């Protein structure tokens, strides 16, 4: 089963690292949304082989607040909340 790991650090400023595992090859989308549901960053979009991945996200130019990171890998879907503090 795929897994989205808790972002670290969280709360963060100015960047955080998001990790996830893929047990099988899958089409993957890893996006970040603001509290209103608007996508503010597309971190991954495409076909990936099984394995463990780390993605760094810098929230330069975005205001402090709550953000949601969402992993979609095949039929798998998971989200985590992020808190940006400036």
Q: Each residue's pLDDT tens digit in the chain (86 positions)? A: 779 999 999 999 999 999 999 999 999 999 999 999 999 999 999 999 999 999 999 999 999 999 999 999 999 999 999 999 98
pLDDT at 82: 96
Query: For position 40, which CATH number holds?
Result: 2.60.40.1930
- Global pTM value: 0.94
Residue-range definition of the domain harbouring residue 30: 3-84
Token pair of 67, please?
């953000």
pLDDT at 2: 78
Contact predicate 4/69, CB 8 Å: yes
Domain count, the chain: 1
Three-state SS for 74-86 is: CCEEEEEEEEECC
> Which residues, at least 6 apart from 38, have a Cβ–Cβ distance to it below 8 Å?
none
């Amino acid at each position: 089963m795929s897994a989205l790991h808790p972002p670290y650090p969280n709360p963060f400023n100015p960047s955080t690292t998001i990790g996830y595992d893929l047990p099988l090859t899958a089409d993957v989308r890893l996006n970040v949304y603001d509290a209103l549901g608007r996508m503010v960053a597309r971190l991954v979009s495409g076909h990936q082989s099984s394995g463990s991945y780390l993605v760094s996200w810098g929230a330069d130019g975005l205001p402090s607040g709550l953000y949601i990171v969402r992993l979609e890998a095949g039929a798998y879907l998971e989200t985590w909340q992020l808190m940006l503090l400036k």
